[in-house]
Amino acid sequence: MKNRLISRLGTADNLRPVAGSMDGQQQSSGGFDPQLQQFMTALFGQLEGKLIQLAESQAQQKEAHEAQIRVLQDTIARLDPTQPEARETLNPNMAEIAASTPIVTPPIAETERRTRPALPDPPKFDGRRHKFRAWLLEMKNKLRTDGRTIGDNTDQFSYIFARLDSKPQQLCATYVQQKGSEQTATQFLAYLESYYGDPNLEERAVDQIKTLVQGKNQPFAKFYPEFEVVMANAGGAEWTDNVKRATLKMALNEDLRRAVAGQIAMPEDYQEYVKTIRKLSSQLETLAKNRPPINRQSSPPPRRVTKPAAEEMDWEPIRASSAKRMENYQRSDQAPPR
């Protein structure tokens, strides 16, 4: 490559005869300036050096490209795409080439980013305190996921205000007018929480979870959501898995606690622990449905023995004795005794 390029462009040696001919012509016509001749010689030397460097650089680039092509051809020839394990036989040079190649992700258009929210809009908060906690969590998730879709901080502040019903809007209208341009969306939510939040929620939830017990015939699938809400209100998100497991086990009914105690080993992870209890509860419910009913025959009522009254038993002898005495008295002409 180098030789071909130099042969095409020529070197300073090939150009010097031209300068010599120009020198001869100038001498024949009256002389040539020595300084100009020295300048031309230096210029041709620099040009020759640049041409050589350019030829060498192009030759090196071509050799590098040819080496990469050979590596790719060799890899394609030896790699079977139907066998994933064959990827382990990749040439190290191929890995270096892949690592040095930057991965360019095309930017998402601004119009596309602003018209495709991932989550639906939270419902409007109507001012009822027992609904505020769920609404607040839903609003935080919305801002965290679709914050860029909604817009900047001012847009997010306005979005929160738009998701309030008329009564909450009237209560915080003064706050929005005075500090709407200064406060962030996070500060706006903190203001709403200070008004609608329950400062004693965690304390009451801790007391409630101590007495929360699953009903004897209550399915675990219905009991656990109630338990999870109370535990979350009591700050259960910050508890360790050991504390969560122990608290849940204490709240189970007697049958389910026995089933848990009968297991050789229970998972240490809390979510896996809950899944295991779900399976045990389902098995107990299936056994209870398939168990044959107990046939309890009712015993006949005891017989009542009716005893004759004492007056009826004693009446006949007394009556017969009195009649006999009356008959004897009449025969003896005596008055009956009184």
pLDDT digits (tens, 9 = 90+) for 244-271: 999 999 999 999 999 888 888 899 999 9
d(CA 165, CA 75): 65
pLDDT of 314 higher than 60: no
pLDDT digits (tens, 9 = 90+) for 200-227: 777 777 888 888 899 988 999 999 999 9
**What's the token pair of residue 29?**
């016509």
Query: Which range has highest mean pLDDT (120-124, 229-233, 320-324)?
Result: 120-124
Query: What does the pLDDT average to over 162-183?
Result: 85
Q: pLDDT value at position 57?
A: 84
| Band (36; pLDDT cuts 50, 70, 90) | confident
Name the amino acid, one letter, at 49.
G
pLDDT of 189 higher than 50: yes
Average per-residue pLDDT for the chain: 74
Where residue 95 falls (left for φ over 0; alpha for ψ -120 to 50; beta otherwise) is: alpha
| Band (90; pLDDT cuts 50, 70, 90) | very low
The answer for residues whose C-beta is within 8 angstroms of residue 129's C-beta and 6 or more apart is 196, 197, 198
Residue 79 near residue 86 (C-beta atoms within 8 A) = yes
pLDDT of 315 higher than 60: no
Percentage of the chain surpassing pLDDT 90?
Answer: 16
pTM: 0.40
Nearest to 122 by CA among 94, 141, 103: 141
d(CA 46, CA 19): 15
Q: pLDDT value at position 108?
A: 47
**What's the token pair of residue 186?**
């996070």
The residue with greater pLDDT, 147 or 78, is 147
d(CA 168, CA 161): 9
d(CA 86, CA 49): 49
